Amino acid sequence: MPDTSGLPGLLANLLSPAAYPFPVQRVDLIQTHISYLFLTESEVYKVKKPLDLGFLDFRTLTSRRAACEQEVRLNRRLCPEAYLGVVPLLPVRGEGGGLVVGGEGDAPRAVEWAVRMQRVPEDCFLHRRLRAGPLPPDTARRIADRLVRFHAAAATGEAIAPFASVEAIAANWRDNFDQVRPYIGRTIDAATFAEIEAYVGRTLKAEEWLIARRAAEGRCRDGHGDLRAESICLRDGDICIMDCIEFNDRFRYGDVAADLAFLFMDLDRLGHPRLADEIAGRYLARSYDATLPLLLSLYKCNRAFIRGKVRGLEIDQPEVPAAQREEAAATARALFELALSYTQEGQRVPLLVTMTGLVGSGKSHVATALAARLGAVILRSDVVRKELAGMSPGTSARGEQDEGLYTPEHTARTFAALYRRAEAHLRRGHSVVLDAVFGRRTDRERSRRLARKYGARPLLVECVAPDDVLRQRLWEREREEGEPSDATLAIAERLRARYQPVDAAAEAPMVRVDTARPLAEVMEIVLKEAKSP
């Protein structure tokens, strides 16, 4: 039997199978800090708690109905099949009282409202699939591609961009600090609170220009706002993402980096940082968002802090069962510790990572994942080349070698822009990952000199793979939409003849990785070298 302690009397009847207009064998109850969820075998009914928590106000029936309708509308963007609508809850006639589920014509008699949802099998959610064993090999790609499409189509503009300003971010942090401060000594210790508060102040001041620039570029979107592993359902070859924030627009509006950071933080928390790397790398590869990684630590810290706050709120809610309150306190403490760990990521000596290797050797796959994990700007010659020509990075410009966008003159312009952008970021103390063939020793040495000029640590990463793997990748790349590289098998063979092998002794520090191995293994090797003194 579900624990019904603290459940309002009117809602207790929703635990009865007779309260539903279809055959039901049993009803289970789940409580969150803002909702009651009644689970039948095939459907779920979510009822908002009549709370005022500052960041939401559900005290009136009108506000709860509006929140239900908003929840359905917004979640249908990423999971249309699961959100069935909003239904009225009606008083039971006769003795006993309580509520039953009504239909479309019963709105005038409604005394409460509920979101009606399809019940999704529990074992399809990402956090459960991770516990069950290895995921299908294309899972990270499918999740990332779904999020790229979602963010590209999500609303943006003058009404939304201000929510990604430094002022708005700082105001959100102040609200979170104010709401967590009463829990110092209960779910967070004073030193952790102070260190996070200081880190946020330093980072917002240092990155004000970047935050403003990204808002001006349209990187602020009406996103998900609560993108956790337990919201992502993998089933029938599709990705369904549920449970976006409906009760406060400013929690949903923001830089796409903030949306992604929630998922990456959650995967770190669950012990799967390499899955986060794969998703992040694919997202960067398809969104062409060079500066997104620079803000990930700040936003991951924010997301862990928010989750710690939310779980901490449960310890003061008497309607929440005692065992759940105890678990919430422990989880909140762990989340605040995770938030603290992200404050250390930006305190390392900046890196200038130069990728090198033959076409098809997996440089971009490693480079984008590495940039996300290091919090480094990712500069890709394939993307810069097309931007200089006024083209979308995903637009094909295939032709013969040394023609079109690939003449020696345009290539020289591309590398000049690549180094110029790298220099601008190194000057600000950012780490940078340069992704190009870098087949000439003189170009690789130029990177080393640039790193030394700005006190950054140089690292050369050479990617290699067996010939059959190279050919297969190039064959697949030619058929994939949105791929910025225009190299064909024929062009790759000509570039191979020009490639000057790396001299490991003369070009140290360097690391050579076989990208035919899983990305997780490659990342372990590169990160070990990247983080060494």
**Ranges in the chain annotated CATH 3.40.50.300:** 349-530
Q: Which CATH class name applies to 349-530?
A: alpha beta
Tokens matching residue 15: 């635990």
Round the CA-based radius of gyration of the chain to a whole number and report it: 26
Burial class of 236 by CB neighbour count within 10 A (0 to 12, 13 to 18, 19+): exposed
Tens-level pLDDT at each residue, the chain (533 residues): 555 666 888 899 999 999 999 999 999 999 888 999 999 999 999 999 999 988 889 999 999 999 999 999 999 999 999 999 999 999 987 666 789 999 888 889 999 999 999 999 999 999 999 999 999 989 999 999 999 999 999 999 999 999 999 999 999 999 999 999 999 999 999 999 999 999 999 999 999 999 999 999 999 999 999 999 999 999 877 899 999 999 989 889 999 999 999 999 999 999 999 999 999 999 999 999 999 999 999 999 999 999 999 899 989 988 788 898 999 999 999 999 999 999 987 667 899 999 999 988 999 999 999 999 999 999 999 999 989 888 888 777 665 555 667 788 888 899 999 999 999 999 999 999 999 999 999 999 999 999 999 999 999 999 999 989 988 888 887 777 777 776 667 777 777 888 899 999 999 999 999 999 999 999 999 999 988 66
**Residue 166: how many CA atoms within 13 Å on its side-chain side?**
14
Contact 225, 163 (CB under 8 A): no
| The Cα angle at residue 202 between residues 200 and 207, in degrees rounded to 5 | 90
Outline which parts of the chain fall under CATH 3.90.1200: 126-346
Q: At the top level of CATH, which class does the domain 126-346 belong to?
A: alpha beta
Residue 290, sorted as left (phi over 0), alpha (psi -120 to 50) or beta, turns out to be alpha
Residue 431 to residues 424, 455, 514, Cα–Cα distance (Å)? 11, 11, 24
Give me 5's structure tokens: 């302690």
